A and B are shown apart, each in its own frame.
Chain A
Amino acid sequence: MADLRNNFVGIKSPNPFWLASAPPTDKAYNVERAFKAGWGGVVWKTLGEEGPPVVNVNGPRYGAIWGADRRLLGLNNIELITDRDLYTNLREMKQVKMNWPDRALIASIMVPCEEESWKAILPLVEETGADGIELNFGCPHGMSERGMGAAVGQVPEYIEMVVRWCKQYTRMPVITKLTPNITDIRKPARAAKAGGTDAVSLINTINSIVSVDLDNFAPNPTVGGKGTHGGYCGPAVKPIALNMVAEIARDPETYGLPISGIGGITTWRDAAEFLALGAGNVQVCTAAMTYGFKIVQEMISGLSDWMDSKGHRSLDDICGRAVPNVTDWQYLNLNYIAKAHIDQDACIKCGRCHIACEDTSHQAITQFVDGVRHFEVMEDECVGCNLCVNVCPVENCITMVGLEPGTLDQRTGKVVDPNYANWTTHPNNPAARQAAE
């Protein structure tokens, strides 16, 4: 039985599945239900400074895109930080932490970018017994217009400054939550590290307009005829999040910096992928908002069963295992040659591979063979691009098969070279030519 216990910057939880700071963690009622369902930890919905709380819109706050059968693929929201009184939140946090001492409870915080503001709130949070704090430098809507959230997260100097204040004024571990609405995610991560952060968490939501109401010509969600960009999340953002996590995990300047992975995690498999790319644990929101808290049971059993089947005993066995295999394009082996192969027994003859290849790629898949509808890869045309694999509706029907070194690549007429060779030394690369001269 795999050990799923998680120790993230000293914060212990029975499993690596935390609920991200968001509507599901806004009050004791929800968090109690989450812990009962089995969540390892929660990041309480972002607290603001003392005084009258923020207000939310009273119209729709969420928009979505859907796949087949209205399966939710992407969600966006224009909700702000908690709109409840600071002390109400703090009182509830303290009670919940007392009720659930084995679970992680993290306070997400967003106050104005002034030292006094941070200095004032940190002792209040510390007093709840929270296990750590997460600095919300990511919220892309509303709060950013007031100089907080993503407005801070987009300026590395501010990140470093605020992290430094937090490390100075609290003993709690500091997790810095990053916005993806930036060109190079490594810059804010490096700044957070420079400020002394214990960890980063990412990604926060992505600036987005999910759809346009074509009757009213206004973005969705439409509030009284107008809309604004919201924060995008859910399964659709996972690839963006994975890349950003990997970028930080493999950056020499931030290598080893603990990462809490966030972004579209819906199943145990998604979670395992984040862990493999260097995340120490994961945070989930949209999946819970779509299906309820019970999904964590699938995540726990799925991760555990997969680890058992592969012989991984603890999270340490898998965390970061894929990081060494993330590289730059220029280091990919140009002598690795693969061809698509269609399993004729599995093929249902929909023709999608053919038309995708024929219309948009390399004209390497037949439509007819001897006058009969038959889809087969022409190896002398196949560049191994993988498009057919991706458009095929049948799993494992089309696979990419690597050519053994020494065999003939029918497309190029050359024998497959067993040696690794990449673009840096390729004769077509001007830089390589220059170096040789």
Chain B
Amino acid sequence: MGTTQSGIHRGRLAPTEYETNFSDLHPRLDDHEALVAADRCYFCYDAPCMTACPTSIDIPLFIRQISTGNPVGSAKTIFDQNILGGMCARVCPTETLCEQVCVRNTAEHRPVEIGRLQRYATDVAIATNTHFYERAARTGKAIAVVGAGPAGLACAHRLAVAGHDVVVFEAREKAGGLNEYGIATYKAVDDFAQAEVDYVLSIGGIEVKNGLKLGRDFTLSDLTANFDAVFLGMGLSGVNALGAEGENLPGVVDAVDFIAELRQAADKATVPVGRRVVVIGGGMTAIDAAVQAKLLGAEEVTICYRRGKEQMNASEFEQDLAASKGVMIRHWLQPKRVIARDGHVAGIEVEYTEMRDGKLTGTGETGVLAADQIFKAIGQTFEPAGLGSLAMASGRIAIDAEGRTSVANVWAGGDCVKAGEDLTVTSVAQGRDAADSINRMLAAGAQPSIAVA
């Protein structure tokens, strides 16, 4: 087959090439590498990395524990703040979070490898099946969690630790959310997402019900009627349209579907890819789709982003990664029209853009990029369903600082709320903090009320 045959085909590469291409992007540090990396940490006071972490992991402490030969204790330090610390170690854009503010950058332009050290420690705990938490005595309270993604799992875990019984309603076949369906294959090899789900659920007291979708199979009011509290952590199910003519042609694909298909494919050779692929978008999803299209054997992969490099949501690291895999990133180009031949995608007409009076505007100059497959990666949207009168803000669920929604006893977190950054680690923080808020509410309810004069 090879990389040069036109059209969308599976099996472009030899089996060993698939194996190489989709192996671990950053293999786990071995013991010696971890010690050397850990030795670089200065054990800063009130460390900037810790402040930059959305889950506030005590990074200097966990690194010091690694350096003193206690990776298990290190893992506990991580999990205390972030029970999904294993996946976050793999997918966090550390270069814009903890590692960006590492003081080593100032002197050496090279931060401590916090992400890889975190993975080292959490891998030890998960591989040795070491567990750190026990459920408190059962409280008799039941809490519904909608969505078994990072926010929902983090919330469910903390609630279970507190002794509550948790039921997680998950629309898809497997738990994990974007960790299972939305992460590039080479960032979470060896079915790590499911291993992590199993690790989290082993606390007990959490029942995951798959195949049940809010708005289709039940409503929010069903939950509020039957549970003491509800946490909504649905994520985003809608995909933004290109707004370009011909975008429904065969060969125009949602990048998130492509990424999910690839993740679920036991044999990557079964996933078809075009010879020439164009990805529209400038975020992590665009990069993940583009890089993986290239790794599947596409001859030519081009990302078209309608603004400049500085505005791309994809981190510098991700952009460099794409470039290193041979992906061409082009800026200041917007899609105009998908061009068809014989009822199938043959190319895309794009228009140059520029900022005019602070507004992105097409210049009128157009060109055609040949393509037999086009990925749409220009953002996802929240599709509210079954939420009744729940208040929204900017198209997502409105919450207060504790994660409370406009409806009593209903909390929300993760991508379905407006938070600014759609990051796994932010979702974990929101799920965790909502659980704390729910705990406080339930604990207060258990106390006799005190009249205040």
Could you tell me which A residues sit within 8 Å of B by CB distance?
68-70, 348-352, 354-355, 367, 373, 393-394
Contacts and interface: CB of A to CB of B under 8 A. Distances in A.
B39 A68 contact: yes
Contacts of B106: 348-349
A61 B9 CA distance: 66
A279 B242 CA distance: 81
B42 A354 contact: no
B46 interface: yes
Nearest to A356: B45
A355 B47 CA distance: 11
B132 interface: no
Contact of A355 (B39, B45, B103): B45
Nearest to A70: B35
Contacts of A351: 44-47
Contacts of A352: 42-45
A350 B103 contact: yes
Contacts of A373: 46, 48
Nearest to A71: B39
Contacts of A348: 103-104, 106-107
Interface string B24-66: 0000000000011001001111111000000000000000000
Contacts of B46: 351, 355, 367, 373
A69 B42 contact: no
Nearest to A67: B39
B44 to A, nearest CB: 4
Contacts of B35: 69-70
A349 B48 contact: yes
A349 B51 CA distance: 13
Given A349-B103, A355-B46, 9 more contacts: A68-B39, A69-B36, A348-B103, A350-B103, A351-B45, A351-B46, A352-B43, A352-B45, A394-B107
A131 to B, nearest CB: 44
Nearest to A368: B46
Nearest to B40: A68
Interface of B: 35-36, 39, 42-48, 103-104, 106-107
Nearest to B51: A373
A393 B39 contact: no
A109 B155 CA distance: 74
14 contacts: A68-B39, A69-B36, A69-B39, A348-B104, A348-B106, A348-B107, A350-B103, A351-B45, A352-B43, A352-B45, A354-B45, A367-B45, A373-B48, A394-B107
A304 to B, nearest CB: 31
Contacts of A349: 44, 48, 103, 106
B171 to A, nearest CB: 44
A351 B42 CA distance: 9
A70 B46 CA distance: 27
A400 B103 CA distance: 23
B43 to A, nearest CB: 7
A119 to B, nearest CB: 54
A355 B35 CA distance: 25
Nearest to A354: B45
B215 to A, nearest CB: 45
Nearest to B108: A348
- Give the top 4 A-B pairs by smallest Cβ distance, nearest first: A351-B45, A355-B45, A68-B39, A348-B106
Nearest to B38: A68
Nearest to A68: B39
Contacts of B103: 348-350
A296 to B, nearest CB: 28
A177 B331 CA distance: 75
A349 B36 CA distance: 22
Given A349-B103, A350-B103, A373-B48, A393 B42 contact: yes
Contacts of A354: 45
Nearest to B44: A350
A114 B48 CA distance: 67
A67 B433 CA distance: 40
Contacts of B39: 68-69
B396 to A, nearest CB: 31
A287 to B, nearest CB: 21
A384 to B, nearest CB: 21
B113 to A, nearest CB: 14
Nearest to B67: A68
A373 B44 CA distance: 12
Nearest to B39: A68
A415 B220 CA distance: 75
B36 A350 contact: no
B185 to A, nearest CB: 34
Contacts of B43: 352
B100 to A, nearest CB: 13
A155 to B, nearest CB: 42
B48 to A, nearest CB: 7
Contacts of B47: 350-351
A413 B103 CA distance: 36
B61 to A, nearest CB: 13
A367 B48 CA distance: 12
Contact of B42 (A70, A350, A367): A350
Contacts of A355: 45-46
Nearest to B107: A348
A347 to B, nearest CB: 8
Nearest to A359: B45
Contacts of B107: 348, 394
A351 to B, nearest CB: 3
Nearest to A375: B45
Contacts of B45: 350-352, 354-355, 367
Contacts of A367: 45-46
A393 B40 CA distance: 11
B109 to A, nearest CB: 12
A68 B107 CA distance: 18
A367 B45 CA distance: 9
